[in-house]
Each structure stands twice: as C-alpha cells, then as structure tokens.
Amino acid sequence: MIPLTSQHLGANSAARPDWEDKYKKLEPLGVGGFAEVFKVRDLRTNEILALKVPNLADEEERRRFAREISTLQKLPHRNVIEIREAGYDWYAMPLAEGSLSSLAPELCDEERIEIITQAAQGLAAVHAVGLVHRDVTPSNILCVGGQWVVSDFGLVRKPEGLSSMPKTRGPLGTPGYRAPEVLVHGGHDVKHYADIYGLGQTIVFITTGRHPLTGGRPMVPGIWEELVVRMTAMAIAERFQSMDEVVAALSEVRTSLKARRRAEWPPRHLESENVTEALRQAELKVLAMIVQETSDGFREHEIRNSMPRRERGLFNIGFIGLKRRGFVENVYGDDDRHLGHRLTESAHDWLLSNAELLLGAMSSPKSDDDPPPPGDDDNIPF
C-alpha cells in the first residue's frame, strides 16, 4: 500500500501549490477525468515543459497519482514519458509536439509502423516490471522530440499481489480501447494482454480515422489486417502473448510494405544502377518543394503544414525516401538542440546533374495522369 502523508490527505490543501515557486503557468493543454495538464515555463531554466496536476477528489485518486509518479520515476525508457521533476501533487514532463490522435492524419504507413513499434517497445518495458498500463489509446501516445512515448499512467496496474486496497471496481479505460475481459471481469485483475488489445485498436483508429468498436472483425487496410486481427482477438489465447511478439510482427508488416512500394512504381524507376538517378516521384516532388522553400536549412514540419492535409502522407513518403538516400541531414545547434534539416552534398550533386527533372517537378501542375499516392494512406476520413 502506498503511504499517504498529511499533504496527500489534504491537511495543507489551502496552501499555495509548491510547483508555483518553480514554474509559471502559461496555458492549459488538456483536462481529463483525473487530472489537468498545463504548459509551463521553468522559472530556473526558462525551459517550456508540461505539468500534470491531479484532481485529488478522493483518497483513491490520490493513491493513483502517487502510484503514477512512483511508476514513472522507476521506469526510465526512451519510449515512456519522462518525469523531469515531481512533488506530492504534481509532476513536470517534456512538452509534446502532439498526440497520435492529433497527428494521425499526417502519417503515412511507414511512419505508422515506426510509431506503433516504439509504443510497443515502451509497453514491453512496462510489462517487464510486472505493470499494466490499462489505458492504451492514441491520445496517450505522444511525440516528444521526434520520439514516440507512452504517457498517462494514471490507471497503471501494479504487479499481481502488490496492488493496494480497495480493489478497482468495474471497467476502467477508454471505450473502444478496453479489452473484452475488462468489460466482463472489471479492471482489477487485468493482465498485459489488455494493453496489446488497446494498441491494436489504436492501429484501427490511425489507419481508418474511425473510432474502434469492441467485437467483430476490424476493417483496416489489407497490409494491417492480419496484425490487427491477432492483437484484437476476443479470446486472450488467440492474441499475441507479448509486446515482443507484436514488435516482430510489425517488422514483417514493414517488409511487406517495402515490397509493395517497389511494385507500385513504374519499372523505369528501378532500371538505373545508380539509385541517386532514379528518384521516385514523391521524392522528386518533395525535393522540389525544399529547393523552392530555401537554399539553406529548413524545417520539415513548416513545409508539410503548408500542404493540404490529405497530401501530407505523400510528402512524408518522399521525405523518408530522401533521408534514406542520404539527401537530407539533421542540423543541430551548439547546445545539441535539433534546429531542422538541410540538403547534403550528395543532394546538391544530383541537382546539378538533373536540373531539368527538378524544373519539371516545380512547373508541372498535377494532372489525372499523375500516379496516386502509394499505399492506403489516401481518403482517410479524419
């Protein structure tokens, strides 16, 4: 049982919160059933962070928040949200660029695979110490500094045999992402299989734009179907048995997607022995956009955000391709802070030899003859 101090029990509830001596509250970021999150500025370093403050309406919520802090402090992992500093009724964490639920419309399948892989690796670390998240949703997977992390451990379940009293009554979590066993038996005795189910339902949302339903065969693009069916099986025995198995299956999806991408492009793109001479159309268009934008450094998100949302998936595919070719590199400041990107020497060499191709990509309007964006990324009803 987590011990409660007089502060936890509200003996000093009228006093000024001690975090206000360290942080300046800037604006609200979100309000949930158990807590509120603010954007804050650290008065000591001027760093912008996010600060989570619970409602603390009753003793159970106080215990849950204390458990959340304790869990995160003992679980350092690159794919689990980091606690920068904590008090008895608050904690500060890095400010996220957005959640998976808000950024999903801009993603291509390559990015979706990478994001779900990172989330699965974070959850594998959670499960390795005997914990269960119990509320895996797109809103609780955040992008922080280009890395994806699992967040919001307010409903985390302690290892079996160590759970505090009273026991959890009734189903916990978010409708549509709760595993069937949670609905039937309640949230107290839930195992890690419920997190696998929630992550599978997360894939349903980010690949279709529709809120997932419990039960029935998930309707997702074909390349995802086998994976999602296994993750969201009604019977626990038919699901993947660990997040490590999920990560391995995601690697197979990535391999299948690469093969399909190659098959979708006209043969002329594959004829050249020099890969730098055979830029795919998506890569060529993105390269043209970068050259039109700047001759020096650039910020990927600024170019992408200037496009219609339905076209951003194609931009992401092209940008990923340029990075893999070594045409784009990261730019860092003196303090190792990521400033953006720039074209490499290889990219400039290619531009000198292929100026006509680039000018064509800059000047030609889109027509019905242009091939559609590869994959199942188009027409998602977000």
Torsion from C-alpha of 252, 257, 258, 264, nearest 10 degrees: 150
- Through-space distance between the first and last CA atoms of the chain, rounded to whole angstroms: 43
Percent of the chain with pLDDT over 70: 80
Active site (catalytic) residues: 135
Residues 329 and 235 in one domain: no
The tally of domains found in the chain comes to: 3
Residues 74 and 111 in one domain: no
Residues 216 and 123 in one domain: yes
Residues 164 and 123 in one domain: yes
pLDDT tens across 82-109, in order? 999 999 889 999 999 999 999 888 888 8
In a domain, 371, yes or no: no
Range from 30-34, 70-74, 306-310 that averages highest in pLDDT: 70-74
pLDDT band per the 50, 70, 90 thresholds, residue 6: very low
Burial category of 36 from C-beta neighbours within 10 Å (exposed 0-12, middle 13-18, buried 19 and up): middle
Picking from 94, 124, 142, the residue at the C-terminal end of a domain is: 94
Asked if pLDDT for residue 373 goes beyond 60, the answer is: no
**Is the pTM above the cut of 0.85?**
no
In a domain, 3, yes or no: no
Position with higher pLDDT, 325 vs 310: 325
In a domain, 11, yes or no: no
Asked if pLDDT for residue 228 goes beyond 90, the answer is: yes
pLDDT tens across 257-312, in order? 888 877 765 544 444 444 444 567 788 888 888 888 766 788 887 888 888 877 77
236: domain CATH number is: 1.10.510.10
What's the pLDDT at 159?
Answer: 60
Residues 157 and 84 in one domain: no
Residues 139 and 241 in one domain: yes
Asked if pLDDT for residue 72 goes beyond 90, the answer is: yes
pLDDT band per the 50, 70, 90 thresholds, residue 369: very low
What's the pLDDT at 243?
Answer: 97
pLDDT band per the 50, 70, 90 thresholds, residue 1: very low
What's the pLDDT at 161?
Answer: 46
Residues 81 and 115 in one domain: no
Domain that holds residue 306: 267-363
Average pLDDT value over all residues in the chain: 81
Burial category of 120 from C-beta neighbours within 10 Å (exposed 0-12, middle 13-18, buried 19 and up): buried
Residues 128 and 229 in one domain: yes
In a domain, 372, yes or no: no
What's the pLDDT at 311?
Answer: 77
Q: What HEC string does 74-96 produce?
A: CCCCCCECCCCEEECCEEEEECC
Residues 291 and 155 in one domain: no
What's the pLDDT at 116?
Answer: 97
Picking from 230, 258, 286, the residue at the C-terminal end of a domain is: 258
In a domain, 188, yes or no: yes
30: domain CATH number is: 3.30.200.20
In a domain, 381, yes or no: no
Tell me the C-alpha distance between 82 and 94, whole Å: 7
Residues 137 and 235 in one domain: yes
Position with higher pLDDT, 31 vs 14: 31
pLDDT tens across 175-208, in order? 999 999 888 877 677 899 999 999 999 999 999 9
Residues 214 and 296 in one domain: no
Picking from 51, 69, 94, the residue at the C-terminal end of a domain is: 94
pLDDT band per the 50, 70, 90 thresholds, residue 148: very high
In a domain, 236, yes or no: yes
Tell me the C-alpha distance between 218 and 204, whole Å: 7
Residues 218 and 299 in one domain: no
In a domain, 119, yes or no: yes
pLDDT band per the 50, 70, 90 thresholds, residue 246: very high
